Amino acid sequence: MARSFAHRLAGLPAPATIEMARRARMLRAEGKPVISLALGEPDFPTPAAVIEAANQAALAGQTKYPPVDGTPALKEAVARKLLRDNALTYTSDEIMVSNGGKQVIFNAFMATLNEGDEVVVPTPYWVSYPLIARMFGGVPVYAPCREEDGFRLNAQVLAQAITPRTRWVVLNFPNNPTGAVCSKADIEAVAEVLRQHPDVWILSDEIYEHLVFDGAQAFSIAAVASDLKERTITLNGVSKAYAMTGWRVGFAGGPKDLIAAMRGVQGNATSGVCSIAQAAAAAALDGPTDLVRDMAQTYSRRRKMVVEALRAIPGLTCAMPEGAFYAYPGIAGCLGRTTAGGARIESDHDFAVAFLEEEGVATVPGSAFGLSPYLRLSCATSDAVLQQACASLARFVQNLR
Ligand SMILES: Cc1ncc(COP(=O)(O)O)c(C=O)c1O
């Protein structure tokens, strides 16, 4: 059989996050000890009360096909959450529940993009925005967020990236991978640019909103600039804040017509999210907030510990993230050098591969996120693992010739 696959998949790279995880698995299979700072996944267990709510839902017979756009109970909990945390009012037909925040993006782009439509993505970015856009014929256009600007989005840079073909602008603050958090003034400036482009949709990915440190605060553009709410998808989910990555529950608030179109997409793909997971997510959103606060404090402490260790390594630089759970050190000072194992470091990809092979620590190169030469280290793991990884990194860099 002559095998061929859809054109829309041509040239789509596997996300480097997954590629690094694959290399780490191969090394482990060879019996080598490997630690991983590659995945953005909380190391905490899902709160017990949330698991209990799932248990109760299953026992109570909530085991049938749920509505495509979410159970009434979860949609009500989402509406309460968006009002409480974001000062945003959404009615039931303006809310949709999906299989993770990822499916929200998939639904939104599939429902709106035509061949050649541009999607403005600030760099560095979470790997999935450009990849999903490209699956639907979209063309990612990048708006660089520079380290000198604290990796925040500069409104002028955004203005330059928008063209008559722009269909979407993606915002993700607190940001994966840098942890940058845009101030209210930053968001207001971005909103002013977007007002000049009334045909552009806005995707505001707020999945790390609760993980903010040192007094930083996350803002929803739909609340800061309420005139833009009618063309904004406010994306969130339970994966990061409630340590629920495996439950696959994300949600969106947005205008009725777009939510209806997204419901149409999802209805023909996965239908409604697992009813038991939805009951769990509702319990998480309505549950006590101190658990989230405690986890955020732990991430904050670990981030400081890691950043201080990284800054002490000659050849590395590292901005202090204000949110999320990653560190994003610059490795420019290591380029053009050779590792103890004889590998030449010409890029952050070379660095990440050699670091994994020689020290057994998996990280993700900045090239995966559209800004080099950097590395992303996830701090969502134990202090002991983080300390070991930082010691390995110090040794690896010290041994460069
Ligand atoms: C910025 C950002 N948005 C969305 C997601 C999607 O998360 P999920 O699909 O688990 O809700 C992730 C996960 O890594 C992320 O980092």
In 3D space, the residue among 282, 267, 279, 15 whose CA is nearest the CA of residue 128 turns out to be: 15
To test the ligand 1 pocket, which listed residue (125, 126, 251) has its Cβ within 8 A of the most ligand atoms? 126
Distance between CA atoms of 44 and 323, rounded to whole angstroms? 17
Instruction: Give the distance from CA 194 to its chain's centroid.
Output: 22
HSE of 15, CA atoms in CB hemisphere, 13 A: 16
- pLDDT of amino acid 57: 98
DSSP 89-137: ---GGGEEEESHHHHHHHHHHHHH--TT-EEEEEES--THHHHHHHHTT
To test the ligand 1 pocket, which listed residue (239, 274, 299, 328) has its Cβ within 8 A of the most ligand atoms? 239
How far does the centroid of ligand 1 lie from the alpha carbon of residue 31, in Å?
A: 31
Atom of ligand 1 nearest to the CA of 99: 9
**Domain boundaries along the sequence of the chain:** 13-40+291-398, 48-286
204 lines ligand 1 (CB under 6 A): no
DSSP 371-393: --SBEEEE--S-HHHHHHHHHHH
Instruction: Give the distance from CA 28 to its chain's centroid.
Output: 26
Distance between CA atoms of 118 and 141, rounded to whole angstroms? 6
In 3D space, the residue among 265, 212, 261, 205 whose CA is nearest the CA of residue 235 turns out to be: 205
Distance between CA atoms of 323 and 174, rounded to whole angstroms? 5
Instruction: Assess contact for 219 and 182: CB atoms under 8 A.
Output: yes
298 lines ligand 1 (CB under 6 A): no
Atom of ligand 1 nearest to the CA of 248: 10
In 3D space, the residue among 22, 26, 36 whose CA is nearest the CA of residue 361 turns out to be: 36
Instruction: Give the distance from CA 112 to its chain's centroid.
Output: 21
Task: Report how far apart the first and last C-alpha atoms of the chain are (Å, whole number).
Answer: 51
Instruction: Assess contact for 363 and 37: CB atoms under 8 A.
Output: yes
Pull the structure tokens for residue 317. 């630089």
Atom of ligand 1 nearest to the CA of 250: 11
Q: Where are the alpha helices (DSSP H) in 142-268?
A: 155-161, 184-195, 221-224, 256-267
The strand pairing partners of 362, in sequence order, are 36
* DSSP percent split of the chain into helix, strand, coil, nearest 5: 45, 15, 40
- Identity at 304, one-letter amino acid code: K
How far does the centroid of ligand 1 lie from the alpha carbon of residue 113, in Å?
A: 21
Classify burial at 33, counting beta carbons within 10 Å of its beta carbon; exposed 0-12, middle 13-18, buried 19 or more.
Answer: exposed
How far does the centroid of ligand 1 lie from the alpha carbon of residue 191, in Å?
A: 23
How far does the centroid of ligand 1 lie from the alpha carbon of residue 294, in Å?
A: 21
Distant-in-sequence, close-in-space partners of 60: CB < 8 Å, separation ≥ 6: none
Largest Cα span, the chain: 64
What is the dotted CATH code of the domain comprising 48-286?
Answer: 3.40.640.10
- pLDDT of amino acid 7: 86
Distance between CA atoms of 274 and 276, rounded to whole angstroms? 6
The strand pairing partners of 36, in sequence order, are 362
Distance between CA atoms of 285 and 241, rounded to whole angstroms? 10
How far does the centroid of ligand 1 lie from the alpha carbon of residue 378, in Å?
A: 14
Residue nearest to atom 4 of ligand 1 (CA): 101
pLDDT in tens, the chain (401 residues): 888 888 888 878 777 777 888 889 899 999 999 999 998 889 999 999 999 999 999 999 999 999 999 999 999 999 999 999 999 999 999 999 999 999 999 999 999 999 999 999 999 999 999 999 999 999 999 999 999 999 999 999 999 999 999 999 999 999 999 999 999 999 999 999 999 999 999 999 999 999 999 999 999 999 999 999 999 999 999 999 999 999 999 999 999 999 999 999 999 999 999 999 999 999 999 999 898 999 999 999 999 999 999 999 999 999 999 999 999 999 999 999 999 999 999 999 999 999 999 999 999 999 999 999 999 999 999 999 999 999 999 999 999 99
126 lines ligand 1 (CB under 6 A): yes
Instruction: Assess contact for 194 and 200: CB atoms under 8 A.
Output: yes
- The CATH architecture one would assign to domain 13-40+291-398 is Alpha-Beta Complex (3.90)
